[in-house]
Amino acid sequence: MLDDLVLSRCQGASGDLISWSTDGYISLPFRKEFFILRPKTSDEISEISDVFNLTRLAGSISELPNALDEAVCTDEEICVGQLQDSTTTSVVEARWSASGVGENKQCVLSLVTDTGNAFILEQDGLNNWKVRHNVIDVLKKDENIDLQRIVKYSQLKQLRVKSIGWFHHLHSSLINAPVWPLEVSSTFVLCTENNSAWIYRMGASLSRLLEIQLPDTKVRKCEVSDWTRNGKSLEAFVVFELVTNELIAQKIEYNKEFVAKEQFSIHPPSPILVSQFALSTFDGDSYCTISSDILQCVQLSTRKTLSHPLSSVVSISSIIHKENLIILSNGHKDLIFGAVDWSNNKIHLDEYDYRRFVQYEHPLAAKLNELNKVRPFRIMAFSYNPTKDFIALIHAQRSQNTIDSRNISLKEDYSLAIVPVSKPVTLHLSSINYSPPYIEQLCALWPYENLKNIKLDTPIAPILPSDLDLALSELYLSEQIQGMRLANLLQAHSFDLTLLRTLAHAVVNHISTHQPQLDDCDTLLYNNYLQFLGQPPLTSKKSVTLNIPGLNATETFSLDAPFDSDTITSEQSHTWLRCSATLLPLFTTKLLVCETSGKRIISPVSPHLGPLTRKVLEGLQICFFSGGRWIRK
């Protein structure tokens, strides 16, 4: 197990602060501090800092605008935090979208602050985080609210954001062609102080799709389940926690558009606090686990509920749920393992004081026992990684000079531990949903064997459809091609030629079948692929002439010249590097470079491209060699 990472001088840890993305990033919001852990690769791995680079973004958070600080409302008391100075702003919720949603096909990050503002952040090619969307600006426009005028509370509460929940990606078996854009996972639920939640889709702008009516009370937070198949439609549940401690489940169906189906209560209003809830999906069903004075597990499709009393005198702060095992904890002393038995309609609990030795067979219990040998500690939060192979654990040193073990300093040192729970069942994760840094991270974090030593049984590239749109989608949907891409990632460049042949065969097959009109650029593309595949060059033309973008100049290329897969030489004796995908000369500086494989392709927005070439490049939204994301250079 890797050595822990110390997060110095933090305060205000909440039980659900950890958010781990399918790009391998971890976000950790504290009071007036915000960490992002970015995945990295190292030759020698002995501690978490060899797997992650830590970035502090407190300064960037303090610079975020507060759209509500000058709002004047005549019929409501000012919301706490609304007028606070930007230097004291804290992030109260940080959520990652699915991978493939951002401009570079990466995850984006939604933030909700204690001032009621919300933002969607995206990373640029230089590892800087920038605001892509200011959510309140969108709400002002959609609700037609002018904050330069005096507003009523009924208007103001439509702008104060409480929670954002992203819809999850589709499992690769549920994705159909065309792959892009990722309509489902580019969508999120937005909750304000108003009694309506809204479903928005993120593209170049934020588009409002659907309204969800809620009881006339405020929302604390919302969570969204994974998608499951329901006949011809996809089905997910959004669970809203209200300030009345009621939990409302809203069923959402998707079949080319989002439809709100039935809404029902899974936990009635109560004076007893709902301290935490979590969603989990497995075997085609979604479940909601709720902690108050009792532990409840609700099967959302049938509304069947199992429950068990909790003996803890301190509220549960963290819940994780994997298949039929639930783990709960708080910062006092309680660690609870719950086994859910649906066949016998019961939950069996094993409850422990983690300040003492925990006699339970589980990697988390083993880690806590190790920590107890070093010093007294408190569990602040834990969470699974997206594929539930590892647990991220935040723990803090327990103060020794107070009777009830509460911390009396303003700030303390937290530590992040990564606990291996189970060997990743497969690394054959869809490149659409999981980027290479995440897959490499699984290999780096698993301490017991080298997961990179995978072998493919005599891999043969499948024949793709003659329809080019379908072929380009199948380049990412085919499990066989994904297996080669995985091997190519973990055993660098071992399948480069095979994957390029697959693309070349698809384009040649399309041209032979459909015989589209080809300009000089498309003709050179076609000829490149023929020569790469070992076929005779075209005889219908002897040469083609291409314009050099940005220059009043052209280059002419002979079609029967000797073929070199790395460079191409013009009749003017100029040698050019080739595009990794089309094998065309790299005239332009508008390139897309894969952050993982280093492959370089021409940007589809380059002006000199033929229609077929542009279509091919537009279909390569992520690197088909490694699954890496393109960075604009």
**Tens digit of each residue's pLDDT (9 = 90 or more) over 496-519:** 999 999 999 999 999 999 999 999
Tell me which of 202-211, 394-403, 444-453, 541-550 is least confident.
394-403
Average pLDDT over residues 84-96: 83
Q: What is the pTM of this model?
A: 0.93
C-alpha span between 326 and 317 (Å, rounded): 13
Please, what is the average pLDDT of the chain? 91
Is residue 380 within 8 A of residue 371, CB to CB? The reply is no
CA distance 221 to 115: 15
Confidence class for position 459, pLDDT limits 50, 70, 90:
low
Across 125-129, 567-571, 607-611, least confident range:
125-129
- Helices 496-514 and 468-477: crossing angle, nearest 10°? 160
Q: Is 194 helix (H, G, I), strand (E, B) or coil?
A: coil
DSSP H or E stretch at residue 611: helix 611-619
Confidence grade of residue 458 (pLDDT, cut at 50, 70, 90): low
Q: What is the pLDDT of residue 84?
A: 65
> Model confidence over 272-319: pLDDT tens digits?
999 999 999 999 999 999 999 999 999 999 999 999 999 988 999 999
pLDDT of residue 159: 92
- In angstroms, the CA 54 to CA 240 distance is 32
SS3 469: helix
Residue-wise pLDDT tens digits, 24-48: 999 999 888 899 999 998 888 999 9
Could you give the count of Cα atoms lying within 13 Å of 633 in the half-sphere of its Cβ? 15
Q: Residue 265 above 80 pLDDT?
A: yes
What's the pLDDT at 79?
62
Encoding tokens for residue 148? 């330069």
Angstrom distance (rounded) from CA 389 to CA 13: 23
Q: Tell me what pLDDT residue 82 has.
A: 61
User: Could you give the percent of the chain with pLDDT greater than 90?
Assistant: 70
Q: What digits encode the pLDDT tens for the residues 528-550?
A: 999 999 999 998 899 999 998 87
Q: Which helix (H) or strand (E) holds 264?
A: strand 258-267
pLDDT at 67: 86
Classify 311 in phi/psi space as left (phi over 0), alpha (psi -120 to 50) or beta: alpha
DSSP assignment of 108-155? -EEEEETTS-EEEEEE-TTS-EEEEEEHHHHHHHHHT--TTS-B-HHH
pLDDT reported for residue 230: 86
Per-residue pLDDT reduced to its tens digit, 545-574: 999 887 888 999 999 999 999 999 999 999
CB atoms within 10 A of CB 12: 15
Beta strands in 17-89 (DSSP E): 19-20, 26-30, 33-39, 52-56
Position 341 scores a pLDDT of 96
Model pLDDT, residue 453: 79
pLDDT of res. 457 = 63
| Residue 13: predicted pLDDT | 74
Distance of alpha carbon 221 from alpha carbon 236, whole angstroms: 17
User: Does residue 172 sit in helix, strand or coil?
Assistant: helix
pLDDT > 90? residue 127: no
Pairwise pLDDT comparison (406 vs 244), residue with the higher score: 244
Task: Report the C-alpha gap between 386 and 305 in whole angstroms.
Answer: 25
Cβ contact 427:408 at 8 Å: no
- What is the per-residue burial (b if ≥16 Cβ within 10 Å, else e) of 190-203? bbbbbbebbbbbbe
- pLDDT of 399 strictly over 80: no
> What is the rounded average pLDDT of the residues 348-374?
96
